[in-house]
Structure 1
């Protein structure tokens, strides 16, 4: 890849994440559908299964899932430069918006219109997160075993309030154990939706 082409590619990565960045109201989970639309459907840089794996890894390491996802995708696309460019792209608009809103909020903090707007923003964010969970579920839940693991994990999170990192570590162990037990018993093991 020539230097000129490389910089164009890095600029595309930056601009893609720069336009995704402003939708992070409510946390990084609200950004997941936007990232998927941009990097999977529009740019075709990664596949749906890959981006689901990236989201899983991004959630399991310390830091915001949006920043981690952008960094991992950028790294996958263009190495360390891509990681830095994608991370900067996703952070810069949010940083600028927060600075501007902080200044503006000093003047309008008690305005009923602003308080009403946040009611709608919070509700819309719940819908974005639910949609992201549905899309990831389409690739992650593909048989009875993965459905049972999903239901058990949700129940454990809800009733026992275990830290998500422990859930992920438990999921790793459970996944390895289930696949190995199925192999020992002679059952077919599917590792994703496309396996026959």
Structure 2
């Protein structure tokens, strides 16, 4: 037993130093070279922080682009999905309510045109992005409420489309918070 005890204690001590000391310091150092310097990339409007670029937020007013639904009500401390599958009756009722709400607020859009991302929650419950199509389908509502030409809103969406990483990895996306801040900035010009 003594032959295993000393090597186990040494290995435990080495791993504690590596994994609880050195590794977190290296990751924190790398984080200092990212946007937000490792503290999260904030978005400001009129000199004050309005949110984080990588954490979804709830928007329900018709004058704003709506975010993807959240199973955790956009609570960043409790990130997670609903764990309900597409055959779960409660989940299907929830999706139906979201579809009906979307159609009520977006006249002229039919059920088949609604992107799934606008009525289903993401796995994290905090997805900050929509597809360009998910943003464009809301443009008519926003243009009507803000009393601007729909082409102005569509142009704004196109200006905020982020291409896939290196043009290869992942889909094109639009950050909802950045897009909504741009809408408000447009109003103040």
TM-score bin, normalised by smaller chain: under 0.3
Q: Which has the higher helix share?
A: 1
| TM-score, length basis structure 2 | 0.25
| TM-score, length basis structure 1 | 0.25
